């Protein structure tokens, strides 16, 4: 089986390089530097989306948004126009579940199928082979894709039908993004009232307030002046916005989700769309008059 990978940014590149360790890949990205990095890992570079579509039985995508996925699928030189009959497209983008279902429906009858398989665990998790992969697919599609995805990580979950992977990824990112804000706010409260940052983290991680952000990011990175660069405020806002829209479409109140979305919008207005996602810690420091993040803050992937 010939496998292609389109979208070799921070996350897509890490996933593709992990997969390349056990499977030969065809690769494409409009960024020549990203494509060259993947070629150095052993993948075969392709010059166009059409070339990778014509040569692949399965194509994995990792793009910024569902709008980018639509353009890659249905553009004039896109996958749909060049793909072989029987091609399975696996969308690892953090996307819109309703948009994914609509695109899958548009492909129905063409001999090309679309499923979703977004991931959670960061670039480090992708590189280490520990990342969680959430699959939205029919039973036969899942059986077909599982051997490929399990070569990236053993943590592969069948969430349900097409769109279910993107749904649970939005739920996950809503929790993660809200947890980041609340953890940073709680730390400013502790520091403002005389508790040293490291002491606060040590106590909270051993107590009922423990959460993944405090343990994996605040402790090792934030209070040591390191803000991770691989994910932006703009992408975080996009994910929370999509989760809130899904809530509207589903008739679900999104009290905390909407507040989280507005906080990330405030961060974007203050620091820019492309600022590191953990820059919200700097914003809350300024509002509180604290230095949870040391003044010598530096950027680290």
Let me know if 169 is a catalytic residue. yes
User: Closest Cα partner for 174 from 231, 247, 93?
Assistant: 247
Q: Which of 169, 226, 238, 276 is catalytic?
A: 169
Is the Cβ–Cβ distance between 33 and 15 less than 8 Å? no
User: Closest Cα partner for 164 from 139, 134, 120, 141?
Assistant: 134
- Residue 243 to residue 18: CA distance in whole angstroms: 29
Phi, psi values for residue 161, rounded to 5°? -70, 180
**Cα torsion 191, 196, 202, 208: sign:** negative
Which residues carry out catalysis?
169
């Amino acid at each position: 089986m010939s496998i292609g990978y389109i979208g070799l940014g921070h996350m897509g590149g890490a996933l593709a390089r992990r997969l390349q360790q056990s499977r030969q890949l065809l690769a494409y990205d409009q960024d020549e530097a990203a494509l060259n990095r993947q070629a150095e890992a052993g993948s075969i570079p392709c010059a166009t989306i059409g070339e990778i579509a014509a040569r692949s039985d399965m194509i994995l995508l990792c793009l910024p948004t569902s709008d980018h996925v639509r353009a890659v699928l249905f553009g004039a030189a896109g996958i749909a126009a060049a793909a072989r009959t029987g091609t399975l497209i696996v969308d690892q983008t953090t996307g819109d579940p309703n948009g994914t279902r609509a695109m899958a429906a548009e492909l129905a009858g063409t001999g090309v199928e679309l499923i979703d398989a977004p991931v959670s665990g960061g670039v480090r998790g992708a590189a280490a082979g520990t990342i969680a992969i959430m699959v939205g697919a029919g039973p036969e599609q899942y059986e077909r894709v599982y051997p490929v995805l399990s070569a990236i990580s053993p943590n592969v979950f069948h969430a349900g039908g097409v769109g279910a992977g993107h749904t649970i990824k939005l739920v996950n990112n809503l929790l993660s993004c809200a947890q980041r804000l609340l953890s940073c706010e709680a730390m400013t409260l502790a520091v403002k009232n005389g508790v040293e940052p490291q002491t606060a983290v040590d106590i909270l991680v051993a107590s009922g307030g423990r959460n993944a952000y405090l343990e994996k990011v605040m402790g090792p990175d934030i209070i040591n002046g390191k803000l991770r660069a691989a994910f932006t405020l703009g992408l975080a806002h996009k994910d929370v916005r999509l989760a809130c829209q899904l809530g509207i479409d589903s008739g679900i109140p999104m009290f905390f989700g909407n507040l989280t979305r507005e906080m990330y919008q405030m961060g974007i207005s203050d620091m820019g769309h492309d600022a590191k996602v953990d820059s919200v810690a700097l914003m809350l420091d300024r509002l509180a008059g604290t230095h949870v993040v040391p003044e010598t803050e530096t950027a680290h992937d």
